[in-house]
């Protein structure tokens, strides 16, 4: 199937489907009602990310049936769909973290079982091949990414724009190295996130919800492993692509934990949330994030693909100024 045609069709279907989900959320009263820490001021429909989940599932089922996607990869994706299901329940009726996190670990274990051997982690001067080290690291990474997107989905457009960026980059990077099924998954995820973003740009008319943010993080983690297995990208490439999200969420969580706060509860102390209040605009913060991704992180991500043994070095160059910027904006502080 022509990639441009697939992108266009996925975008149009996602745009229409997200609009229908917005109507359904209004009718069923599935709304995100503002509280003290919220970045919005009126009840807003939630669960728009379900459009991305549905389209990616349809693409995965079709490509597997057509023999374009490895059956084990298809089965591994059910971990992502399980995370989306947990998120959907959480959107409708709150699921406490004490239940949600173990379910995320279970979904990650399922996916890693079907993906098989985890690719080696290359530090340049040495590599880690030991699966007893790599599997736990991959497990933690999948669960962290699942919650990472949830943490960073706090202002209009941000999580959707990030999903478009990382899937778009990996689609281009893997166009000649991934099988047709893998490329189809990335194309559909990128285009469907774009369709959702039409409704989620400030002022958002529907939110992604846990069904979308959890799925997005888990799916990105799976595609990272798949692209590294295929040899078209490296772990360092993915770290660079996700640098803004990884730095903000990690620094915020560490500061809250070290200060003795209830770090696992909702809050509004991420750097991007401070920035949106300072500039009184969600779209300005999202646009700056996009510009940093394109102008600063993309060249370094390309360099990490071309010179994989220097990936760790390029990652440090990418992350260091972003860490200083996040601290400057008060990540983790009230």
pLDDT digits (tens, 9 = 90+) for 218-230: 999 999 999 999 9
pLDDT at 196 over 70: yes
Work out the percent of the chain whose per-residue pLDDT is above 70: 97
Whether residue 283 contacts residue 157, with contact meaning beta carbons closer than 8 Å, is answered with yes
What letters, b where the CB count within 10 A reaches 16 and e where it falls short, cover 57-94?
bebbeebbeeebbbeebbbbbbbbbbbbbbbbbbbbee
User: Tokens 């069923």 belong to which residue?
Assistant: 28
Q: Pull the structure tokens for residue 293.
A: 């991704």
pLDDT at 315 over 70: yes
Q: Pull the structure tokens for residue 97.
A: 């973290």
User: Tokens 């601290």 belong to which residue?
Assistant: 327
- Per-residue pLDDT, averaged over 45-55, amounts to 97
Q: What is the pLDDT of residues 243-260, one digit of tens each?
A: 999 999 999 999 988 887
Instruction: List strand residue ranges (DSSP E) for the chain, in order.
Output: 31-32, 44-45, 121-122, 127-128
- Other beta carbons within 10 Å of 35: 8
Torsion sign, CA atoms 149, 154, 160, 166: negative
Q: What is the pLDDT of residues 95-138, one digit of tens each?
A: 888 999 999 999 999 999 999 999 999 998 889 999 999 999 99
Of 33-37, 214-218, 329-333, the least confident: 33-37
pLDDT at 39 over 90: no
Whether residue 153 contacts residue 48, with contact meaning beta carbons closer than 8 Å, is answered with no
């Amino acid at each position: 199937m022509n990639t441009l045609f697939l992108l266009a069709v996925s975008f149009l279907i996602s745009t229409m489907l997200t609009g229908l989900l917005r109507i359904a959320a209004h009718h069923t009263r599935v709304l995100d009602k503002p509280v003290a820490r919220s970045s919005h001021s009126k009840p807003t429909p939630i669960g728009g990310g379900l459009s991305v989940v549905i389209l990616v599932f349809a693409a995965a089922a079709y490509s597997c049936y057509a023999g374009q996607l490895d059956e084990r990869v298809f089965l591994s994706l059910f971990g992502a769909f399980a995370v989306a299901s947990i998120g959907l329940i959480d959107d409708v009726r709150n699921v406490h973290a004490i239940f949600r996190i173990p379910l995320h670990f279970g979904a990650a274990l399922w996916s890693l079982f079907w993906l098989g051997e985890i690719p080696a982690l290359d530090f340049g001067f040495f590599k880690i091949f030991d699966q007893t080290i790599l599997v736990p690291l991959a497990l933690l990474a999948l669960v962290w990414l699942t919650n990472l997107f949830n943490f960073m989905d706090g202002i209009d457009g941000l999580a959707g724009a990030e999903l478009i960026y990382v899937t778009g980059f990996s689609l281009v990077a893997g166009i000649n190295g991934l099988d047709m099924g893998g490329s189809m998954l990335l194309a559909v995820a990128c285009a469907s996130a774009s369709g959702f973003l039409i409704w989620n740009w400030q002022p958002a008319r529907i939110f992604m919800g846990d069904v979308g943010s959890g799925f997005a993080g888990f799916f990105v983690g799976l595609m990272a492993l798949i692209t590294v297995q295929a040899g078209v990208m490296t772990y360092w490439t993915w770290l660079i692509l996700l640098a803004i999200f990884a730095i903000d969420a990690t620094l915020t969580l560490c500061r809250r934990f070290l200060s003795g706060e209830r770090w696992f509860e909702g809050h509004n102390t991420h750097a991007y949330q401070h920035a949106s209040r300072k500039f009184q605009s969600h779209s300005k913060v999202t646009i700056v994030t996009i510009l940093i991704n394109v102008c600063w992180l993309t060249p370094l991500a390309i360099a990490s693909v071309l010179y994989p043994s220097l990936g760790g070095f390029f990652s440090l160059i990418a992350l260091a100024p972003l860490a200083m910027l996040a601290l400057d904006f008060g990540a983790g502080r009230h």
